[in-house]
Structure 1
Amino acid sequence: MILTDIVSRIYVLNLPERTDRKKEVEHTLNHIGIHWQANQVICWLAIRPVDSNQFPSLGAYGCFLSHVAALQDARHAKQGWALILEDDAVFTSDFNMQLPVLAEVLASEQADLIYLGHCHVTGEMEVTPGLNMSAAPVIGAHGYLVRIAYLDTLLPYLEGCISRPAGHPLGGRLHYDGALSLFRQFNPSCRTWIAQPSWIEQRFSRSDIQAHWWYDRWPLIRQCAAWARKIKQAWRRAPTLN
């Protein structure tokens, strides 16, 4: 079993100029037996807006627009599941071993949103190891599944966040992962499952959401930072010796 056996569409959000990230995410997909396939694995062109539109940053606004645009496209499929990946996503070494558990949850029709990758679960004591239903708030959204039929409920809220001002009590112009958490808070009927620990990690790479001007001004620093991230990524994924 591979991921495309149980998921209808996979979207990889990628800025056209970030060819480095595209190559790296292609490698991590190949690692779990998946290759670019038309209408199944889609390299979705991420959006770089011309201004921040009162979002926390230009990158945060582009990230929000890119996620929403991919979900709008996924809605056309009518049924099944869509996996949204940011282009710094990395599957854990045992990811394919977890697929029977994931397939069982998808087939149970007891889920609407599944976080396979996140940075942190607020109140982690509420989430036991494995894949479990949980109402705990989540930070990060670099790898998540959405039931396509549920997009008719989720998308109007996300689209509203783009038009509402920052700080609006219903959720305005904020980071995308924050909007997902607020949606779940306002819609407790959203059946959310969380992988704990994450089955999809984030690669250490230069951020387009919180960019540092000096990376682009000093190429040598940018290259050294890239090498350091690769070393850090390899160290994190190295087996622990007991």
Structure 2
Amino acid sequence: MRADFQTFLINLDRSEDRLRTMRQRLERAGLPWQRVAAVDGKTLDLRNLREVDERGFRRRHGKRLNPAEVGCYLSHIKALKAFLDGPWTWALILEDDADFPDDFGTLIEQLLERSDQWDVLKLSSFHGGSPVPVAELPGSRRLAVPLARLMNANCILFNRHAARVLLKRLLPMTLPYDHALEQAFVFGLRLRTITPIPCPAETGLPSTIGDRAQLRPFKLRWYKRLPAMGFRMSMETRRVVFGLKQVLSAGKSARPD
């Protein structure tokens, strides 16, 4: 793997079993990597965190703050800072439940060769994302512009420009990290994905944030979620408009003179 690329693995100190599993997966993929000690939400005083806008979170997400989500968010911020503190041009930031296809190392090389076509590249997702292909990749894969939400943040590629922009724009926290990152297009960043999606969102490891039943108590009453619904509708409209512009732009650049 090239010297200007690095992998950052976010891992809680108390999750030694996940670290062992991820070490095996990363070695199998042949990726250089370093661990980023995750921020443990259980240790945070949410009332006195400058990095978090609690009122903005309720307004945009329709839920109360979940300490585990805050810890996850700040862990990703920490990983982006670790990337920029080093000499690398690109970074793969992983959560410790990520997994990869057998040819993942080769795929990363292919994506870096096409790094002029993306700023943020999501390699896993919970949702389909309505991807529109804009470039062919070897092995029947295609680089695509998502016109809908992807969600999930366990396996994402960044360039340095994207990391700088995101560090400026993602604080204070007003959404869970995977939701906030979906706004990359609002920040002028080229958010891309791969179709078919190469990395699974569910890899057999339980979430350290919680399942739906555990997260339900954080949800506000329906009428208090109306601002969040309006925000999401606005964002989805803007995503489609921006995405279509990106698709048209990619199509024009691909045409011969």
Question: TM-score under structure 1 normalisation?
Answer: 0.69
Q: Give the drift of 1:182.
A: 2.2
What residue is the counterpart of 1:132 in the other structure?
143
Q: Per-residue CA shift, 1:75-124, capped at 9, x if unaligned? A: 12355001100000011123234345313212xx2321111222223334
Q: Runs of 4 or more off by more than 4 Å in structure 1?
A: 211-214
Corresponding residue SS for 1:121:
coil
What residue is the counterpart of 1:17 in the other structure?
14
Which of the residues 57, 72, 88 maps onto 2:81?
Answer: 72
Indicate whether 1:5 and 2:2 are aligned.
yes
CA contact (8 A) 1:78 1:148 kept: no
Q: Which amino acid aligns with 1:154?
A: L
CA contact (8 A) 1:133 1:191 kept: no
CA contact (8 A) 2:118 2:190 kept: yes
Which whole-Å CA distance do the structure 2 matches of 1:135 and 1:212 have between them? 25
Which whole-Å CA distance do the structure 1 matches of 2:86 and 2:29 have between them? 24
Which of the residues 144, 153, 157 maps onto 1:145?
Answer: 157
Corresponding residue SS for 1:22:
helix
What residue is the counterpart of 1:199 in the other structure?
198
CA contact (8 A) 1:7 1:83 kept: no
Which whole-Å CA distance do the structure 2 matches of 1:99 and 1:183 have between them? 21
Which whole-Å CA distance do the structure 2 matches of 1:15 and 1:148 have between them? 25
Which whole-Å CA distance do the structure 2 matches of 1:33 and 1:42 have between them? 13
Of 195-204 and 87-96, more deviation after overlay is shown by: 195-204
Gaps of 5+ in 2: 47-53, 55-63, 135-139, 215-257
Which whole-Å CA distance do the structure 1 matches of 2:195 and 2:67 have between them? 31
Task: Label 1:23 to 1:105 Cα distance change in 2 as closer, same or farther (>3 A).
Answer: same
Corresponding residue SS for 2:206:
coil
CA contact (8 A) 2:184 2:191 kept: no
Task: Label 1:97 to 1:110 Cα distance change in 2 as closer, same or farther (>3 A).
Answer: closer
CA contact (8 A) 2:29 2:103 kept: no
Corresponding residue SS for 2:189:
coil
Q: Give the drift of 1:72.
A: 1.3
Q: Give the drift of 1:73.
A: 1.8
Identity of counterpart residues, as a percentage?
24
Corresponding residue SS for 1:149:
helix
What residue is the counterpart of 1:43 in the other structure?
35
Task: Label 1:16 to 1:100 Cα distance change in 2 as closer, same or farther (>3 A).
Answer: closer
Corresponding residue SS for 1:77:
coil
Gaps of 5+ in 1: 35-39, 163-171, 215-242
Which whole-Å CA distance do the structure 2 matches of 1:197 and 1:146 have between them? 19
The number of aligned residues is 190
Task: Label 1:103 to 1:51 Cα distance change in 2 as closer, same or farther (>3 A).
Answer: closer
Which of the residues 90, 102, 112 maps onto 1:103?
Answer: 112
Which whole-Å CA distance do the structure 2 matches of 1:213 and 1:198 have between them? 27
Question: TM-score under structure 2 normalisation?
Answer: 0.65
Q: Give the drift of 1:201.
A: 2.1
Q: Give the drift of 1:52.
A: 7.5
Q: Give the drift of 1:211.
A: 6.3
Which whole-Å CA distance do the structure 2 matches of 1:213 and 1:103 have between them? 39
Q: Per-residue CA shift, 1:116-138, capped at 9, x if unaligned? A: 222223334x3587241414332
Which whole-Å CA distance do the structure 2 matches of 1:175 and 1:73 have between them? 20
CA contact (8 A) 1:13 1:85 kept: yes
